Chain A
Amino acid sequence: MGSEAEVALPSRRIRVARSVLVAVGVLGLGLGAYVLVDSVALRRLPGLALWIAGAIVLHDAVISPLVFGLGVLTRRAGHRVAGSVVVTVQATIVLGSLMTLIVLPAIAAQRQGPRNPTVLPLDYAANLGLFWLILAVACAAVSLWFYLRTRRANQRPSRIQS
């Protein structure tokens, strides 16, 4: 908060709301810490800390750079096609990866053997494959639609495009 002179000072109402939020938030943090220490054996806490740190590293150092690289690569590869098609392809990859991220642990747990036959009863691997297939077909259809629309718009002789 070194440059407060440049930024307009928050109004009094905002400053009060801010103090209340921060104070209640700190209380919540304290309660969480207390509940944690109170209910979880101390020797389990390093494992938890490792998981929290690991989650940050996994996201910031692996997932984010991958997504960034993917964005650059798809834009590079698609530099001659309309932006809407590039975005459609990006959305397809993101949706497929998201579902994969959520379903992979289910497949892993299923491989380990569920605790009873009514847990994880579906064929998740096959469904995931089918999902990617449907996604690819939908992506192709939407891209084609965008492509035709752009071409039609470009062929129209003298309309001012905004």
Chain B
Amino acid sequence: MRRLMYEARAQLASPVRNPRMATVIGRLLGLAFLLCFGTGLYSHFLQEPLSWMVFPTRPAGLYQLTQGTHIVAGIACFPLLLAKLYVVFPQLFVYPPVTSFAQFLERASIALFVGASLVEITIGLLNTYQWYPFPFPFRQVHFALSFVIIGSLLVHIGVKLPLISAHWRAERTAGPPEQLRAGPTQEGLPRTRGLTGRILSYIDATPTVPARTSRRGFLATVTLGVATVVGLTAGQTFTPLDALNAFGPRKKGVGQQGVPVNRSSAQAKVATAAMATDWVLTVASGDTERSFSRAELAALPQTDVDLPIACVEGWSQMASWRGVRLRDLIDEAGGSPDSDLRLISLEQRGGFRQTEMGREYVRDPLTLVALELNGETLDLEHGYPARMIAPGRPGVLQTKWLSRIEAIDA
């Protein structure tokens, strides 16, 4: 066993498998993880705010930027995580596997770190495809695993800190020691017989690529890998990359009235209620309650705004909206723009049938109860008869098929 472990490590020796490369790739991966974690928390708290939280409404494309970054950094984790695991692969064959309880805990935390990270980015990717072949709920698990990952990342950095700080900067003496390290290390090891021995000597006879070429090739591959997966998908949110969007789960301009759809009217089962001629939007504030038909809403002063729909799945689409300013509507109904609102959709079920909107969005002059999209009457798929559109909020909170708006008494 011991010999096998030594052999395995010797075979896996490669000029890119060293602590310096682990530090270089690890830094990038750590950065990507932190970006994902930060933007993920922001998105989480936008959807489930704590009572004291107030969010910025400018720039209007803030959520478009943060969630676009979340998805871009997440997809960049695929090449980065695989590269990091490639660099440290020989560590798998450390012999003896366990030397102390502390070291056992460390190895266990790394196994958890690796497994949880792989699952986290995989289910994140699958969620952007709206495909859920896994036996657990996405949102809750994706959220909980993020703490597990950041926790085990910190433990990992803590344990490896002396190594990381020793290799933070490139070694200035690039000469002899490196060549020694890259040279064959299997001399003096007992040879294995039989089939295993043959395979090992076949591998031994494999020509090596010069260390410098191999290192540069590895770094170039990782760089190109990140550039490729990001460049060919990020066009779903970053307009300059739209022409390169060959693999993004969404395409700009594809959808009714040029805007993609997250939840369709068929999924939400709202077609009948939304197309009913007696539809009204009820605005309730304290004891006063007022209902507006669509014609009455259209008769109020109309405002035009350009705001993006930015989905939690990472795509976004700029659009022109026309409708009634929310604060004017609240005013008209005798309410105060200084209270938070509860928005209720015609949907019968679904996690976002009923959501809350902080007063900072209610006051904002860009927030509309929209009746038109890109110059046409709002399509049923985009929330006809009326929907909410506010700056800097995730798409799931831009309530479609509005039915009722209530002031929440403080």
Contact = CB atoms under 8 A, between A and B. Distances in A.
A121 to B, nearest CB: 5
Interface stretch (B139-147, B287-295, B369-377, B384-392): B139-147
A35 B165 contact: no
Interface residues of B, number: 91
B119 A90 contact: no
A21 B147 contact: no
B136 A102 contact: no
A27 interface: yes
Given A52-B115, A109-B130, 19 more contacts: A1-B102, A10-B162, A18-B161, A32-B148, A33-B144, A36-B140, A39-B143, A47-B136, A48-B136, A56-B111, A58-B118, A87-B216, A95-B224, A102-B233, A115-B130, A116-B261, A118-B261, A122-B245, A128-B247
A32 to B, nearest CB: 3
A-B CB proximity, top 6 nearest: A28-B151, A25-B154, A21-B158, A87-B217, A47-B135, A32-B147
Interface string A91-112: 1001100110111011011001
Given A26-B151, A59-B85, A121-B254, A48 B141 contact: yes
Interface of B: 11-12, 14, 75, 78-79, 82, 85-86, 89, 92, 99-100, 102-103, 109, 111-112, 114-116, 118-119, 122, 125-126, 129-131, 134-137, 140-141, 143-159, 161-162, 165, 202-203, 206-210, 213-214, 216-217, 220-221, 224-225, 228-229, 232-233, 245-251, 254-256, 260-261, 263-264, 266-267, 381
B246 A95 contact: no
A58 B136 CA distance: 19
B267 A115 contact: yes
A28 B114 contact: no
Contacts of B146: 32
A14 B162 contact: yes
A64 B58 CA distance: 46
Contact of A10 (B115, B135, B161, B202): B161
16 contacts: A2-B99, A10-B162, A14-B165, A29-B151, A40-B136, A40-B141, A44-B136, A48-B136, A52-B119, A63-B82, A72-B202, A99-B232, A114-B130, A116-B266, A119-B250, A127-B246
A83 B210 contact: yes
Given A67-B86, A102-B78, A75 B228 contact: no
B264 A25 contact: no
A21 B217 contact: no
A88 B217 CA distance: 7
A29 B349 CA distance: 34
A29 B147 contact: yes
Contact of B158 (A18, A88, A108, A118): A18
Contacts of B249: 106, 119-120
Interface of A (DSSP majority class)? helix
A36 B254 contact: no
Given A44-B136, A59-B118, A28 B221 contact: no
Nearest to B111: A56
Given A76-B207, A83-B210, A108 B131 contact: yes
A28 B152 CA distance: 8
Contact of B116 (A21, A27, A52, A76): A52
B154 A21 contact: yes
Contacts of A10: 161-162
Contact of B161 (A14, A51, A87, A101): A14
A151 to B, nearest CB: 16
A122 B100 CA distance: 53
Contacts of B251: 121-122
A135 B284 CA distance: 60
Contacts of B261: 116, 118
B158 A75 contact: no
A5 interface: no
Contacts of A36: 140-141, 144-145, 148
A131 interface: yes
A26 B207 contact: no
Contacts of A103: 247
Identify the interface centre among B118, B144, B156: most chain A CB within 10 Å of its CB.
B144
B216 to A, nearest CB: 8
* Interface-central residue, B141, B156, B250, B264, by most chain A CB under 10 Å: B141
Interface in A1-34: 1-2, 7, 10, 14, 17-22, 24-33
A20 to B, nearest CB: 8
B157 to A, nearest CB: 5
A35 B141 CA distance: 9
A35 B140 CA distance: 8
A59 B109 CA distance: 17
Contacts of B144: 32-33, 35-36, 39-40
A25 B153 contact: yes
A115 B158 contact: no
A102 B229 contact: yes
Contact of B221 (A22, A59, A94, A116): A94
Contact of B151 (A31, A55, A68, A117): A31
